[in-house]
Structure 1
């Protein structure tokens, strides 16, 4: 996250220099407020990363994992609030279709949290709602260059087209985190032998790595699209 924040600030400086030379910048809709919001959101995400990468996320006690998840969810809720603010500033609006498509996913996440980590349910439900709003706003087609009031850049790649996939990948990543917690709870309850324990640990590591990979790509796509 610090590298992403540094990239955002670097692009802001470059755009500022371009405006000073040409007197205008027709290819960017990003303002100083957007840069501040995105940077603040990345700071919140980094705080969440630190919490979730701590020993609590790999604790043997499911209750410790649930407490860690609650702390991470609080930090990530602040990060999602920043994403929501930037997307709204760029003209994104919620549509009934986007909300309806994400509602079952949110309900499934809440249900999984209720089974795997009841003590973390309030934090997970609140964060999940914020994430669903971010994803729904990011899917608004009017955000893409060349549609609505957004001018086309003429570039072969358009960062704004990564917003919708970024929102979806974020949901996938957090779903994998919940799946890890559920797997650990089931494995602990089953009390399997050494071989079964190794199998659970292997799947846990796979889910952990995949969750982190999809999360990083999601953040990159959202940040790039929000600051292009």
Structure 2
């Protein structure tokens, strides 16, 4: 088990390096990395104006990779990122989680389609593992904000589906380092939203712990989106 974890971690690092390396040939990716870093640091330090400037540009910049691809299903990728963009904008307003979840639901429906289109299939073990954080999130929501339970279960199911499908070992192409990061991208998305729910239900706004949680949410989220998009649209011409 330990050797498998080490191997997968190494693959994730390789995929991240490949994703970041594309910044030398794709200016919009370089801009995405800068905006993501600024937003994460701003979240940690509580610099709200910089967060408001950088967050809305993240998904449009990442869409550059999809536009560069001639994949037959790239329109689905663009729709998914549009959903993520809408979710980002919604979550910039305090207490707007249901609206944010609606946008990201579109994002995950698109990812589920794209991953399945590339041959990803679920497994009982991967489903069981994701059921644990989903259950914990539902319990937290039920205790602190009961109105969020349907959102957590509905949106959480779509999020878990992305994580389950992205982590299918069959997606990994030994000759394409970008595909090594798909599972990591799906799992980091799950981590990001788990921390978001914990922050909303357990931490008071404006505290050091809340700012740290916000930074973790944005750091994991921006890396997750990068790894998923790079893994799904790593080539200029993909077969369906």
Give the TM-score, by structure 1 length. Answer: 0.74
Match of 2:78 among 24, 27, 39: 39
- Structure 1 stretches lacking a partner, 5+ long: 17-30, 57-64, 147-151, 188-196
Indicate conservation of the 8 Å contact 1:41/1:81, yes or no.
yes
Question: Any idea what the Cα deviations from partners look like across 1:159-214, whole Å, max 9, x if unmatched?
Answer: 01000111111111001111111224xx5xxxxxxxxx8xx611111111110111
Count residues with an aligned counterpart.
Answer: 176
* Cross-structure match for 1:6: 64
Q: Contact 2:137–2:198 at 8 Å: present in 1 too?
A: no
**Contact preservation (8 Å) 1:138, 1:163:** yes
Q: 1:131 and 2:159 equivalent?
A: yes
- Determine if contact 1:45/1:79 at 8 Å carries over to the other structure: yes
Rg larger for: 1
Counterpart selection for 2:178 from 159, 170, 192 = 159
**Alpha-carbon deviations, 1:111-131, whole Å to 9, x = none?**
111122211211121110011
Residue of structure 2 equivalent to 1:119: 147
Are the counterparts in 2 of residues 183 and 204 from structure 1 also a CA contact under 8 Å? no
- 1:181-196 alignment, distance < 5 Å: 181-184=200-203, 187=204
Asked if residue 208 in structure 1 is aligned to residue 214 in structure 2, the reply is yes
Where relative contact order (Cα < 8 A, 6+ residues apart) is larger, the structure is 2
Does residue 92 of the first structure (1) align with residue 150 of the second (2)?
Answer: no
Runs of 4+ residues over 3 Å off in structure 1? none
1:101 aligned onto 2:129: yes
5+ residue gaps in structure 2? 1-58, 235-240
